[in-house]
Amino acid sequence: MEVIIQKDKGSATKLVARLLANQLNETPTMTLGLATGRTMEALYDELVRLYEAKEVDFSKCGSFNLDEYVGLTPEDPNSYRSYMNKWLFDRVNIHKAKTHVPNGSAEDLDEECRNYEALIRGAGGLDFQLLGIGSSGHIGFNEPLSALRSLTRVKALTRDTIEQNSGLFPDPSMMPRRAITMGVDTILKSKRAVLLATGSSKADIIAKAVEGPLTAIVTASALQLHSHCTIVVDEDAAAKLTHRDYYDWIFQNEPEWAAYR
């Protein structure tokens, strides 16, 4: 795991956008794993900016989103499919047919989950998995006690998560109580994972995920098992990390980061 600390939200977001764009330029046919949430809105704005500046091209890639609320149709304005259309897919040249978001309104949800997992495997797995982190320490909607070997399935959301996300619904009571999510193991199988967290509200959970024990209570801590995971944070989200001298030293000295300094 590497931890990259940037001075503010803007530079942390730009760094992640450049990482993704560079990988996509290297391998245009890659499969992206995409995330939602407020943090990602700025990231998608930056990717759109790079696209408009002709610095990145989405025409050959495919994508799989981490999760979707159970009970919402793809057309529902509060669905993650609508979020993705609004923030990214409608603004760049990605082929919509190659974008995947679980269908939260499927009649047979278990079958939908199995099919989603099979589609990811069929595409050759996820090459670049983008992640945010929820206040409960979740990645995707892998709430506390999610099995570290879990695959795509339905999860009941915690009260914490409902509080964190219900403000995004026109009426908080409209927020679904369950979601389909890629499992922890689905995420761990990605070839590269990049987690972006900004703001002081993420400081405690970032410290637990990065420097705390590996535990299913904080599913983001499972990223300590990932073979190539980068955590990008701003100063506020990094505030509770204790080994930052080492993290900064890596970023300042390792050749792979030269282009990003």
Q: Which long-range contacts (CB under 8 A, 24 or more apart) does 83-86 make?
A: 83/36, 84/34, 84/36
- Per DSSP, 218 falls in state B
Q: Does 67 bind ligand GLP (CB under 6 A)?
A: yes
Q: Does 230 bind ligand GLP (CB under 6 A)?
A: no
Q: How far is the CB of 126 from ligand GLP (least distance, A)?
A: 14
Binding span for ligand GLP by CB under 6 A among 8-16, 95-103, 128-136, 145-153: 128-136
Binding span for ligand GLP by CB under 6 A among 14-22, 29-37, 241-249, 251-259: 29-37
Q: How far is the CB of 97 from ligand GLP (least distance, A)?
A: 24
Give 21 or 101: the residue with its C-beta nearer to ligand GLP: 101
Burial code (b: 16+ CB inside 10 Å, e: under 16) for 40-62 equals bebbbebbbebbeeeebbbeebb
Give 39 or 186: the residue with its C-beta nearer to ligand GLP: 39
Would you state the torsion angle of the CA atoms of residues 121, 147, 216, 245, taken in this order, to the nearest 10 degrees? -20
Distance CA 216, CA 209 (A): 10
Exactly one of 33, 134, 137, 183 binds ligand GLP (CB under 6 A); that residue is 134
- Per DSSP, 215 falls in state B
- Per DSSP, 257 falls in state G
| CA terminus-to-terminus distance, the chain | 18
- The DSSP bridge pattern shows strands 31-34 and 193-197 to be unpaired
Q: How far is the CB of 113 from ligand GLP (least distance, A)?
A: 15
Exactly one of 56, 133, 231, 232 binds ligand GLP (CB under 6 A); that residue is 133
Number of C-beta neighbours around residue 203 at 10 A: 18
Binding span for ligand GLP by CB under 6 A among 33-41, 55-63, 207-215, 248-256: 33-41
Q: Does 140 bind ligand GLP (CB under 6 A)?
A: yes
Give 33 or 62: the residue with its C-beta nearer to ligand GLP: 33
Q: Does 158 bind ligand GLP (CB under 6 A)?
A: no
Give 25 or 201: the residue with its C-beta nearer to ligand GLP: 201
Q: Does 37 bind ligand GLP (CB under 6 A)?
A: yes
| Residue 161 Cα distances to 66, 71, 155, 172, 186, angstroms | 15, 17, 12, 12, 21
Q: Give the list of residues 6+ apart from residue 4 with CB closer than 8 angstroms, or none.
A: 12, 15, 230, 231, 232, 233, 247, 251, 257, 260
Binding span for ligand GLP by CB under 6 A among 37-45, 146-154, 208-216, 222-230: 37-45
Q: Does 33 bind ligand GLP (CB under 6 A)?
A: no
Binding residue count for ligand GLP, defined by CB under 6 A? 14
- Per DSSP, 104 falls in state T
Q: Write out the residues near ligand GLP by the rule CB under 6 A.
A: 35-39, 66-67, 132-134, 140-141, 161, 165
